[in-house]
Structure 1
């Protein structure tokens, strides 16, 4: 059922629809090399095949990981003899330097029009030399309605599909076929074909595909099973942003996807980061409970770990939020990196060695525990940045409000230089 022209491509209408960029490139016969980036089974190879079919150019398919430089040389020789060749290079993110160096002059001459296909983010995983000579287009999972069109075509096409077979596909079976494969049309069509060819006709000579038949024939697509894949990091990002945004149901959804991928390590690491980064001083007991929940999850493992994880995700979603802690340290780091340091004041320097007092180290240090309430006003920052302020407390929870009140009281007292005489010992 591979599309022969752009008109047969299902989905990706933002690229191949009437008036859209790939459609215009084909119509104007002004093809340029491009990279198609998206999940498996969503149409990357189909688009490449359809471009070749629409332009009548020779079409060759190689894999950057498994095919050799010699295979590329064969394609290049063909292009010299017959003109333009469209080369679909699967897993282009795994193209090594030797193959890349061979390809570059052929791309620049236009003899080879490269269509790279990858599931990895090309801005991260593909060499800049290749990126700079290609246009990058995102490919999206197909919608249910788009998948339905493709399945209907497969059932009715008697030349390339299953149209010659007397198939009856139940509605609930079709729904499962379309949803369980999560926008991966290749998996859906493979499952449909397996079901049709492995099911005996009934007494009416009908191949009846029921829900149970489709369930046995379709392997459910596990979301983000590749823990190193770009999409996996997108889910982790969405997980944190959902908690930060206090959307409990969205956070639980992304937690479920990470659990389904079996990535307990990423979940635990990210939850602790979220607790300190996004909840922080607004609700320190919730932060501690997040650490406890992570420890419990690590101790009991999956699937039971989902219970403490769910509890703490819900609490973090519904908790007051504050990022004043991370903002404070990042502000301090920014100043330090910019050279805003200065010399440590003499009274704070180490005085635990003979002769330190001769250097003036520690001589005028005021020991806070010698004063009422164990506090005394004195300068702690270097002279050149003595008025720096990194911490800006918020009022998003009673804990941070209390911290903020204390911070401003001490800050104001420090400015006034108020302190009392030390206790007599």
Structure 2
């Protein structure tokens, strides 16, 4: 019997989980299938994210013959068999896995069939096609990036596999504990194939309980996917306690502690929460003391998301070490929170007339924009005028810190401008 991941492959575009930027209604592959104007394509992205599923669904939606080959292990003769079938049937969709390993002999054989349209090639690769695939193939294909599945998307696929009585495990009397489900979904790093393989192994290797139900618990799932849950440690600390300790260690400039908690989050496979938390820390705790560090964190997060684990740990570690050792400032978050608090108290007043929009007929009659002073018309591109509403015209929210050279410079400028406005 075929593995669960194979049986659960989508038979139409509507069954595909994730990749809605490609297969969702009115998106590019959806339009191609609807118009019956298929063209050869290359799908690239991490393992287990749906490249084969998309190819299978396209074939199922069009009713064309569907064949699968591997560019590294299948021979030129295998390609010839597909080509002969295409001559007889008219069109064959060929999923060619590891297309980046296609050698020149196979490539030269394939090109004329792509040109004629008898073979619609869907190449699958984890490598960047702009770097790893021959230009002759690239020029004859559309290139689409397949993105890692979200936790919610993997959850949908798991639930579908649990209940489907024909292709899934619906005929088995299964019960999947909530914490086991979370572990199965989160620890496979967006790889649906791994999640389904782990689920099937757990289901088929576990004996029913006295109630006749196969209980899939957290320890069972951990054994089946060979990955321990770190949502709880030996002292009972929760997952969110680890996240909290991670941020507080960076805020406190303890590099080793921050790396420890980063390691725990990495072992949990929780890249989205690491990425989000690092960007929050960069702007909340380092902020104006070192703005370039925040920009570098964003770049590191983008690199980590592109790489996926295990390589993602490298840019993440770079970012954490820099944030730990950087000067700190929370002046920006404190300033915006003070401004929001003042707004919520009410009675903030109206926007001054000279600042109101004047780009419409009749604005002048209302007195809007008449007395506005255009700063670029004045020395140093600055002129004193009132910007805040009248009731709060003297409010000050920003309290500069001087921990870093950047914010010290900002502080000096802020104080100088306040003095020029008569506020200091």
Alpha-carbon distance in 2 for matches of 1:168, 1:259: 31
Q: What is the alpha-carbon distance in structure 2 between the residues aligned to residue 155 and residue 261 of structure 1? A: 29
Written as runs of structure 1 = structure 2, the 5 A alignment for 1:203-222 is: 203-220=210-227
Contact 2:304/2:311 (<8 A) preserved: no
**1:42 pairs with 2:49:** yes
**Cα displacement (A) at 1:185:** 0.7
Give me the TM-score of the superposition, normalised by structure 2.
0.57
- Residue among 323, 328, 335 paired with 1:314: 323
Change (3 A) 1:220 1:111: farther
**2:69 counterpart of 1:62:** yes
Unaligned runs of 5+ in 2: 1-7, 229-273, 283-289, 330-403, 410-424
Instruction: Find the partner of 1:174 among 175, 181, 187.
Output: 181
**Counterparts of 2:44 and 2:300 in 1: how far apart (Å)?**
27
Contact 2:303 2:312 in 1 (8 A): no
Once the two structures are superposed, residues 30-50 of structure 1 have per-residue CA deviations (whole angstroms, 9 ceiling, x without a partner) of 100001011000000011011
Q: How many Å apart are 1:82 and its aligned residue? A: 1.2
Q: Structure 1: 5+ residue runs without aligned partners?
A: 222-234, 275-309, 321-395, 402-425
Q: Do the aligned partners of residues 252 and 172 (structure 1) sit closer, same or farther apart at CA in structure 2, a change above 3 Å counting?
A: farther
2:205 counterpart (187, 190, 198): 198
Which of 134, 144, 150 is the aligned partner of 2:151? 144
Q: CA shift at 1:256, angstroms? A: 9.7
Q: CA deviation at 1:16?
A: 0.9
| Corresponding residue SS for 1:216 | helix
CA distance in 2, matches of 1:31, 1:124: 25
2:293 alignment counterpart: 245
* SS of structure 1 residue aligned to 2:59: helix
Checking the alignment, whether the CA contact within 8 Å between 1:248 and 1:317 is kept in structure 2 is: no
- Aligned residue pairs: how many? 276
Change (3 A) 1:262 1:17: closer
Which of 13, 18, 28 pairs up with 1:11? 18
**Closer, same or farther: CA 136–185 of 1 in aligned 2, 3 Å:** same
Aligned residue for 2:72, secondary structure, equals coil
Q: Say which SS state the counterpart of residue 164 (structure 1) adopts.
A: coil
1:72 aligns with 2:120: no
Contact 2:43/2:125 (8 A) holds in 1: yes
| RMSD of aligned alpha carbons | 4.1
SS state at 2:202 partner: helix
Does residue 103 of structure 1 match 2:110? yes
* Equivalent-residue separation in structure 1 for 2:300 and 2:100 (angstroms): 32
Give, in whole Å, the separation in 1 of the partners of 2:15 and 2:150: 16
Cα separation, 1, equivalents of 2:303 and 2:27: 36
Q: TM-score, normalised on structure 1? A: 0.57
Q: 1:26 to 1:255 in 2, by over 3 A?
A: closer
1:220 shift after superposition: 4.3
Q: How many angstroms does 1:97 deviate by?
A: 1.1
Contact 2:304 2:315 in 1 (8 A): no
Structure 1 residues 219-234: aligned runs within 5 Å:
219-220=226-227
User: CA 1:316–1:107 in 2, change beyond 3 Å: closer, same or farther?
Assistant: farther
Distance 1:316 1:33, change over 3 A: farther
Deviations 1:261-297 (A, max 9, x none): 4899x779x96xx9xxxxxxxxxxxxxxxxxxxxxxx
Partner of 1:113: 120
